Structure 1
Amino acid sequence: MIPLTSILYAASGNDERKSGGLRQALRLCRDSNTPLTVVQICPDVPEKHAPLQNRFMDFLEDELHDSLASVRKELDIPEQTVRARIVVRQQAGTPPAISLIRMVIDEEYGLLVKDAEAVEGGRGFKGTDMTLLRKCPCPVWLARNTAHAGPPVRLAVAIDPESREPGERELSLNLLRTAGSLARGFEGELSVVSCWEYEFERFLRYKSWVNISEEELRMNAEDIRKDLLGEIERLVHESEIAVDRRIHHMRGRPEDLIPEFTEQHKTDLLIMGTLARTGIPGFLIGNTAENILEKTSCSLLALKPEGFVSPVRPE
């Protein structure tokens, strides 16, 4: 579960009245009785216009107040229901992603929400978004326009039933619990997605000195499929998610099948983990996770394992 003690929404500098991320942040705050902070990282004005910096920041703050009021009215979320504050910070030569991560660390936010940056073709993430996915210690929600018209909200959670490193099983349980909580809150449809492969099949099939029949290969693959499906079912049971869900256990590479699944099923939100070293400074986003991200076209909620330490240091 995401510890929603407070939520940080990172404004893009565009018209926030059209922001799916701001709407989502307000709904989450309402449903969890959580305060909201809206932050705008203000770009540095050219040196010759330095006296205008404060006026520019005041202008951005006024724009955010107007946008927030407009979205509140649309969603019928009055000020007394969700407490919110607006912060405008000067970039001061620091990349926006680093400023946001430092704010998360300093003020201990439980979730960072922002609109995904526009990318050519609508797939993948870039720049600031990738830095946040790699280095931000709290969960990151990157919002895109809904993939289909109307309710119910369609959620997919990607899990790996094979625990190769400490913390991976706990991450899978956290992903399932988070997905279940969101599906219940949204009254949405939840799909549990996992992929499997018989890694030694090609080796066994094409080595002439390996005496194994097609039937034995098929039975070996089926045993692996059943074992992994059984572990998925145990994880789902242990997570105690109290919503209807469908398990999709697909044979093939997750970096191909998971983005394909989200497109075919018009998924609104993909919930997945990023593998990272735990307990030491630094990050290592998993190759599989990074390849999935490159092809993802829906909104994304990314969680890191317990104990992840961001390489970004407080100011």
Structure 2
Amino acid sequence: MINYHHILAVVEADRETQPALSRAKEIATKTGAKVTAISVVYDLSYNMTTMLSPEERDAMKDAVTYEHASGLSDSLNEMGFSDIDIVVQWNKRSYETIIRYAIENDIDLVVKATKRHDDLASVIFTPTDWHLLRKCPSPILLVKEHDWPEGGEIIAAVNVGSEDPDHAKLNDKLTVIANDYAALLSGNVNLVNSYPSTPLNIAIEVPEFDPDSYNNAVKHHHNEEMAAHASKFDIARDRCFVKEGLPEHVIPMVAKDIDAELVVIGTVGRIGLSAALIGNTAEHVIDELNCDVLAIKPEGFVSPLANK
């Protein structure tokens, strides 16, 4: 079962509504967790105050922070969030403040809203979202403005075809969490796994290569592994989806087909040059999803911001 004690909801001043707070409060109501709303402020005019003394610069920061905290408190009271603690901090890089607060306060879940394109079928993930996905050790729930109905569909995006034991552990972790959310929301768990298409270059360069036999063998392997994984968690076979293609195509396609409310996905938290060159599969998938996403780090993940 979900055992949340402290949830951190990211409040964004430019939003008329606060879906992250609404979702955090909904989860807290069901789990008994405490909710803290965090807002990070920075005034660009501060960059032009180098002629001021350090004391005057600090006074400016304190005044802006206090004014924002006061206005935020009034706004949240009007929205019915009077029972939520408020933290307002000054930082140009909001993700650093959020992650450090999460680490220092043993946050069980960070909830943040995503932004929409004008096109209602698509979602923008901001640079702050990406930094949180890569560097925050706590689970990250990226939400939109919609309800979580009872009986809704929840997806655990697994990689059952890999022989890597770390992948197997992450598969188990994602499935357990999906089951926990299903129990919380009286929903249904679905497992989604993709497998690669036949490499075209092999089919061309090796005349005796039989692409149909290869494809069938790969499909059979993934189906067998999915059946074994599903049986461990008593998930019905008709809720297991094994499809050919890239994860960033397969997972959003299934999510749309079953009208999923939530996708639980693992992210390796790759940063730096490797992230630029290789990219994170989770990020490619998330960018194509039009539902809430819960991003989970593997066991043993250490944030690059820890101890800084």
Q: Could you tell me the TM-score, scaled by structure 1's length? A: 0.80
Secondary structure at 1:177 match in 2: helix
Q: Which residues of 2 match residues 2-17 of structure 1 at below 5 A?
A: 4-15=4-15
Cα separation, partners in 2 of 1:208 and 1:43, compared to 1, 3 Å: closer
Secondary structure at 1:295 match in 2: coil
Q: Which residues of 2 match residues 6-155 of structure 1 at below 5 A?
A: 6-15=6-15, 18-44=17-43, 46-47=45-46, 51=59, 53-72=61-80, 79=83, 84-91=84-91, 94-119=92-117, 121=119, 122-146=122-146, 152-155=151-154
Percent same amino acid among aligned pairs? 24
Post-superposition Cα deviations, 1:121-150, rounded to whole Å, max 9, x if no partner, equal 53341211111111111110111123x896
For residues 132 and 180 of structure 2, the distance between their equivalents in structure 1, rounded to whole angstroms, comes to: 23
For residues 245 and 38 of structure 1, the distance between their equivalents in structure 2, rounded to whole angstroms, comes to: 40
CA contact (8 A) 1:2 1:139 kept: no
Superposition RMSD in Å: 3.3
| Deviation of 1:240 (Å) | 5.4
Secondary structure at 1:162 match in 2: coil
For residues 296 and 253 of structure 2, the distance between their equivalents in structure 1, rounded to whole angstroms, comes to: 21
1:247 matched to 2:246: no
Letter in 2 for 1:274: T
The alignment covers a number of residue pairs equal to: 295
Cα separation, partners in 2 of 1:128 and 1:58, compared to 1, 3 Å: same
Q: Could you tell me the TM-score, scaled by structure 2's length? A: 0.81
Of residues 36-45 and 281-290 in structure 1, the stretch that sits farther from structure 2 once superposed is: 281-290
Structure-2 residue corresponding to 1:309: 302
CA contact (8 A) 1:97 1:132 kept: yes
Letter in 2 for 1:102: R
For residues 164 and 261 of structure 2, the distance between their equivalents in structure 1, rounded to whole angstroms, comes to: 30
Secondary structure at 2:115 match in 1: coil
Post-superposition Cα deviations, 1:40-73, rounded to whole Å, max 9, x if no partner, equal 1122362469555434333332343344444547
Letter in 1 for 2:231: H
2:219 pairs, out of 222, 225, 246, with 225
Secondary structure at 1:46 match in 2: helix
CA contact (8 A) 2:114 2:123 kept: no
For residues 133 and 46 of structure 1, the distance between their equivalents in structure 2, rounded to whole angstroms, comes to: 30
CA contact (8 A) 2:227 2:237 kept: no
| Deviation of 1:34 (Å) | 1.1
| Deviation of 1:219 (Å) | 4.3
Cα separation, partners in 2 of 1:85 and 1:240, compared to 1, 3 Å: farther
Structure-1 residue corresponding to 2:260: 267
For residues 304 and 163 of structure 2, the distance between their equivalents in structure 1, rounded to whole angstroms, comes to: 23
Gaps of 5+ in 1: none
Letter in 2 for 1:237: S
